[in-house]
Structure 1
Amino acid sequence: MATTQTPAPPRRIYMDHAATARPLPEVVAAMLPYLAEEYGSPQSFHRQGSGPAHALKRAREQVGGLIGAPASQITFTSGGIEANNLAVKGAALAYERRGKHIVTTEVEHYSVHHSVKFLEKLGFETTLVKVDGYGRVDPQAVVDALRDDTILVSVQLANQEVGTLQPVAEVARLVKAHNKQIIVHTDATYAVGQIPVDVATLGVDLLSLTAHRFYGPKGAGALYAGKGVRLTPLIHGGVQENGKRAGTENVPAIVGLGVAAERAAAEMEARVEKVRGLRDRLERGLLERIENVQVNGHPSERLPGYLDLSIEGIEGEGTLVRLDLDGIAVASGSACASMALKGSPVLHAIGVDEVLAQGSILITLGIDNTDADIDDALEEIPKVVATLRAMSPIYGKRKHYFR
């Protein structure tokens, strides 16, 4: 009797590095001793505590080295979202006697937007500055939004969805020229480890980062706070992190963050060159093979691995599922809310047509991607788009919206 062989599953290709990235082997290796032998609390004064305490000190130096900051100005958190919460809420509450007005942009991460919404319940007021068609803010528009009672400005360094880089250094310079007492924060969780970042060059008071987007572990992040910047703690009950964040530190994850930061600093130029080269090749190839598609985000001032595409005649979630079945992991620019598909707030902010926004996919490449991955993606993605368009009852029957 003949037997039927089950087809081998497709080779998996990971192109969703904006969501998270695989930890480097040396990161994992560095973490393991602190899950077993070096298990003591860094606050303990005995021998079992001295090893973890030294590890935290070393990791603080490594993270500071990545962003050009003194180790003493690094506060460890559970990740980027907590770092943003501590920055926005902590600074606002610390300086509320000066005023209760905050300026930020309409394309910030939810952890910033939801933090200011929380503060609005406490009597704070927020001004959201609009961005242009690339998702980039005009520094002068930020200054124009300032008031006498403005205490905090928060502008991301790189957008989480389209990868556009913001002119944060110019924003900080103009804000400080207007009023040097205003605290300037940048959410750099998508930028640190991907491009060179230096807090002195940026001129910011606060900067958030997270480990898992530059090949470190999940559960570890940090907030840089410049000299003299006050923060009201959000977590109480301990003296850890110089009183800014209570709770025994996650030593294994922080050690991993430190090693990932050190590797990123050492390899930055090579990483940027490799990832940008792969992204540019993929972008050119897809634009040649797929008609009626637009690239979202700034053409040059963009994170090297980012490629956000709006493709007419498809739906992003369906495309994601079909590509996943073919072994390619990407993200979708659309989201499901209230039982109805709604376009991305970022794409809405940059003026992408609502229907076209539903057909958005986000491809984010990393250092572990290869030319073979690009070859396979250039073969599979156009085939999936063609298949889905053939099933669409509306493709070709509506006005095209392309820049």
Structure 2
Amino acid sequence: MEVYLDNAATTKPADEVVDAMVKSLKVMYGNPSSLHRKGVEVEKEIKKVRKLLAKALGCNEKEVIFTSGGTEANNLAIRGLVKANSRKGNHLITSKIEHKSVLSLFQQLEEEGYKVTYLDVDAKGFISLEKLEESVTKDTILVSVMQVNNEVGSIQPIKEIVKIIKGKNSDTRIHIDGVQSFGKLKYSVKDLEVDSLSISAHKFHGPKGIGALYIKNNVRMMPLMVGGGQESELRAGTENVPGIFGLGEAVRLSFEEQEKKIDKIRKLKKYLIDTLKENLEDIHISTEESEQYAPHIVNVSLKGVRSEIMLHSLESDGIYISSGSACSSKKRGYSHVLEAMGMKENHIDSAIRISLSYINTVEEIDYAVGSIKKHLNSLRKIIRR
């Protein structure tokens, strides 16, 4: 039996997504910039996908830019907004639990002379709104916060964050890393009132190598790449047509009976947490069942057993989970997220992340928890000798 429970790292592309991509490669392979029929028909399909994504985000289709994924979308938004607003100030704000595609860029900007405030989080993974308010000054040109944390699933209160920032400095731009929230939470970018928001298709059963960035109308942004003028001159280069076609199908599927799918994932999460508590001893669950946490992520520490050892033990049973963020799990050192949350060293060292999708089942959870129990008991006996 194969059980895939690492959906926060990536998801299995839906069959409809693969079919759409194959159609692009075999039939609709024209360059969308070409003036002949082959190019025009592809351009029309891209416009349909852009319109579909705009509807899902709650914005105008002209406010959607296709990128190569979440990392590029975050980089384009952050560096693009900073460079476009550098005359207004040199102060930036983010949190200590951001994805590496954000933190690494802020560190780079810091080296370039910008002043950066890294907000602490509490033991549950939330920033302090009071500290945020204290940090915003007349020189603050950008605040970047992730909506859903990719390791523990905490959901930052974006509306409150925006209200505080704009109350202190109406010129401050606000970027949201929405990679883990898109399709998992119901929201509209217009309702959130943010300036930009990033998404990545492979987090919701789309292909890798394609994502998008929402950029609020009339918000000035500098491009990272220049060339042929594609994507409103903000992202030069021939469009990744197979990826865009796949993204379109993934968006359609995610928002088809969205509430039903979100409800299913949340119920699976509750069942998973309850089953872990009932079957395992001496564990620490860093994720709650409340609405303050995303429906698909559960972070649990299995005291006494290193996460890497448990990960490979489960792999032998056909179960796939993660020891943290896929982008940092191969690097040495503890999870910067759990460390920022003030977790004990033995909890960080033994933490695993189980992330769900609407295609997962109760039977898969039972099998996975049974396997965790088996290996946990066995490994603890060996370690205690």
After superposition, residues 165-176 of structure 1 pair within 5 angstroms as 165-176=155-166
Map residues 72-221 of structure 1 onto 2, 5 A cutoff.
72-221=62-211
CA drift at 1:140: 2.7
Matched, 1:392 2:383: yes
* Match of residue 3 from structure 2: 13
- Partner SS, residue 322 of structure 1: helix
Residues 152-200 of structure 1 show CA distances to partners (whole Å, capped at 9, x for unaligned) of 0011100010011110111011111221111011000011011212102
Q: Which residue of 2 aligns with 1:366?
A: 357
Is 1:61 aligned to residue 58 of structure 2?
Answer: no
CA-CA distance at 1:291 after TM superposition = 1.2
Amino acid at match of 2:333: K
Residues 350-361 of structure 1: pairs in structure 2 closer than 5 A: 350-361=341-352
Superposed CA offset, 1:97-127 (max 9, x none)? 1111100101000001111112122211100
Report if the CA contact (8 A) 1:139-1:167 is conserved.
no
Runs of 4+ aligned residues of structure 1 deviating over 3 Å after TM superposition are: 333-338
- Secondary structure of the corresponding residue to residue 198 of structure 2: strand
Paired positions, count? 382
Q: CA–CA distance in 2 between the matches of 1:232 and 1:207?
A: 16
Which of 276, 293, 309 does residue 286 from structure 1 map onto?
Answer: 276
Aligned to 2:366: 375
Partner of 1:398: none
Q: Which residue of 1 aligns with 2:333?
A: 342
Match of 1:313 in 2: 304
Q: Percent identity?
A: 38
Tell me, in whole angstroms, the C-alpha distance in 2 between the residues paired with 1:236 and 1:388.
54
> Which residue number corresponds to residue 17 of structure 2?
27
CA–CA separation in structure 1 for the residues paired with 2:287 and 2:168: 29
Residues in 2 aligned to 1:207 and 1:178: alpha-carbon distance in whole angstroms: 21
Residues 257-315 of structure 1 deviation map (CA, whole Å, 9 limit, x = unaligned)? 11211221222101111111111111111111111111113441111111100121110
Letter in 2 for 1:118: Q
- Asked if 1 retains the 8 angstrom alpha-carbon contact of 2:198 and 2:213, the reply is yes
SS in 2 for 1:230: coil
TM-score, normalised with respect to structure 1: 0.92
Distance 2:89 2:287 in 1: 34
**What is the CA-CA distance between 1:40 and the residue it aligns to?**
1.0
Query: Whose radius of gyration is greater, 1 or 2?
Result: 1
Q: Distance in 1 between matches of 2:200 and 2:330?
A: 27
Check conservation: 2:287, 2:300, Cα contact below 8 A: no
Q: Equivalent residue of 1:59, what SS?
A: helix
User: What is the deviation of 1:333?
Assistant: 3.4
1:229 to 219, 232, 248: 219
Residue number in structure 1 paired with 2:323? 332
